[in-house]
Structure 1
Amino acid sequence: MTSVPFIAIEGPIGVGKTSLAKKLSSQLDFQLLKEIVEENPFLGKFYDNIEAWSFQTEMFFLCNRIKQLEDIKVDYLNQNKAVIADYHILKNMIFAKRTLQSDKFEKYEKVYHILTADMPTPNIMIYLTASLDTIQKRIKMRNRDIEKNIKPSYLAQLITDYEDYMSEFEMMHPNIPVIRINGDETDFVQYQEDLHQITTIVDNHLKTFAGE
């Protein structure tokens, strides 16, 4: 785990990870790391036919996220510059377990562990949750063409998968605080007070991290 502040934000599709990362990056003056989504040439086909396009989609995401983290590590964390990311590399395993057939998942898992062996680990995790109804509304609101064919059943499965993943993460990394935010009750995009409450919580964790 890096000794420089490195915050990751996680949660299901459409829950508001990038919006929160942008706002906290501005508030805290941290370098922003945004995951590559729409640049994935397989993603639209993936939502049309998950079984046929899952391996290509997951491998593209893995390779690009590894490259991003390597750049962040060299250019910022190693230079004692704080970073906030709108994803955690471990999310790859959530999606891979859900979408890949067993033989392809075995291959993917081996590659994943090799490539992520020396990747920087965040020292604070923000976990955004929301109901299926809220997530569907936000996906519709942002109106991305590649997301128009996402099935509600797929989103519902991801919500459950993320809950399981975060419980496992907390067990595996008891020294990394997880800040849970309920997206059904909190709207940090429209309400400054909600954003202020989140920023205050993060600030308190950063003070603890810095030993203040």
Structure 2
Amino acid sequence: MAEVPFIAIEGPIGIGKTSLAKKLSNHFDFHLLKEIVEENPFLGKFYDDIDEWSFQTEMFFLCNRYKQLEDIEKKYLKSNKAVIADYHISKNMIFAKRTLQEDKFEKYEQIYQILTKDMPVPNMLIYLNANLDTILERIRMRGRDIEQNIKHSYLEQLASDYEDFMNEFELLHPEIPVIRINGDETDFVHYQDDLDQIIEMVNNDLTDAVIKR
């Protein structure tokens, strides 16, 4: 693990990534990096017609996340300041593979590889997962208008895509600790004990990293 903690939280839509990132940021006094979501002008149209608006939507997310990570590297990581993010930029490929047609995906992947080649890589990953009923309930509770038209089949496919991605990620990056959290059994928003358990797991990995250096 790199000397400066850079933690990313990942998981399907509505699973609680931002809520957990905020809580861990407050506890550890790490800078909070939040992804831009509702500012995407194509997102509402995307949920209504994925085929028509997927490329515009994914490109907007990619460019904004690239800019965010570039700023984070300059302002925080290079200054030895820890960061916790509510996303990992590789999520772009999860969504792009699911939504883009083959010809557009090839173009998108080329741009993605160019932009992310020298980007800072998180040195700890927290993965939140849950079944479809839990995800749907949390999306309902969050109350974002643009998310109310998301097809259940899309969310179910996406959750499966995330699981495949995480399994592959752990095989390709054994040096990066991954903390898996079952959202069906854990409610860190309403129960302090659940949050404390997550904090302890993060603390253990941070401590291990210090010992290894």
Scaled by the length of structure 1, the TM-score of the pair is: 0.99
Superimposed CA distance per residue, residues 5-64 of structure 1 (whole angstroms, 9 cap, x where no aligned partner)? 000000000000000000000001000000000000000000000000000000000000
Matched, 1:19 2:5: no
How large is the RMSD of aligned CA atoms in angstroms? 0.8
Counterpart amino acid of 1:179? I
How far residue 3 of structure 1 moved from its aligned partner, in angstroms, is 2.8
Q: How many angstroms apart in 2 are the aligned matches of 1:140 and 1:55? A: 26
Q: Partner of 1:128 in structure 2?
A: 128
Q: How many angstroms apart in 1 are the aligned matches of 2:143 and 2:30? A: 28
Listed as ranges, the matches of 1:56-67 within 5 Å are: 56-67=56-67
Is the 1:8–1:87 Cα contact (8 Å) retained in structure 2? yes
Q: How many angstroms apart in 2 are the aligned matches of 1:81 and 1:150? A: 37
Q: Partner of 2:145 in structure 1?
A: 145
Q: Partner of 1:179 in structure 2?
A: 179
Listed as ranges, the matches of 1:4-15 within 5 Å are: 4-15=4-15
How far residue 167 of structure 1 moved from its aligned partner, in angstroms, is 0.6
Is the 1:2–1:120 Cα contact (8 Å) retained in structure 2? no
How far residue 188 of structure 1 moved from its aligned partner, in angstroms, is 0.1
Q: Partner of 1:75 in structure 2?
A: 75
Q: How many angstroms apart in 2 are the aligned matches of 1:185 and 1:27? A: 22
Superimposed CA distance per residue, residues 69-110 of structure 1 (whole angstroms, 9 cap, x where no aligned partner)? 000000000000000000000000000000000000000000
How far residue 211 of structure 1 moved from its aligned partner, in angstroms, is 1.4
Superimposed CA distance per residue, residues 118-139 of structure 1 (whole angstroms, 9 cap, x where no aligned partner)? 0000110000000000000000
Q: How many angstroms apart in 1 are the aligned matches of 2:6 and 2:142? A: 27
Q: How many angstroms apart in 2 are the aligned matches of 1:56 and 1:3? A: 37
Q: How many angstroms apart in 2 are the aligned matches of 1:128 and 1:209? A: 22
Scaled by the length of structure 2, the TM-score of the pair is: 0.98
How far residue 2 of structure 1 moved from its aligned partner, in angstroms, is 4.2
Is the 1:123–1:177 Cα contact (8 Å) retained in structure 2? yes
Partner SS state of residue 211, structure 1: helix
Q: Partner of 2:209 in structure 1?
A: 209
Q: Partner of 2:3 in structure 1?
A: 3
Moved over 3 A (4+): none
Is the 1:35–1:86 Cα contact (8 Å) retained in structure 2? yes
Is the 1:2–1:121 Cα contact (8 Å) retained in structure 2? no
Q: How many angstroms apart in 1 are the aligned matches of 2:76 and 2:126? A: 20
Partner SS state of residue 193, structure 1: helix
Q: How many angstroms apart in 1 are the aligned matches of 2:27 and 2:164? A: 31
Q: How many angstroms apart in 1 are the aligned matches of 2:145 and 2:71? A: 29
Query: Can you give the 5+ residue segments of structure 1 that lack an aligned partner in the other structure?
Result: none
Q: Partner of 1:110 in structure 2?
A: 110
Kindly tell me the number of residue pairs found equivalent between the two proteins. 212
Query: Can you give the 5+ residue segments of structure 2 that lack an aligned partner in the other structure?
Result: none
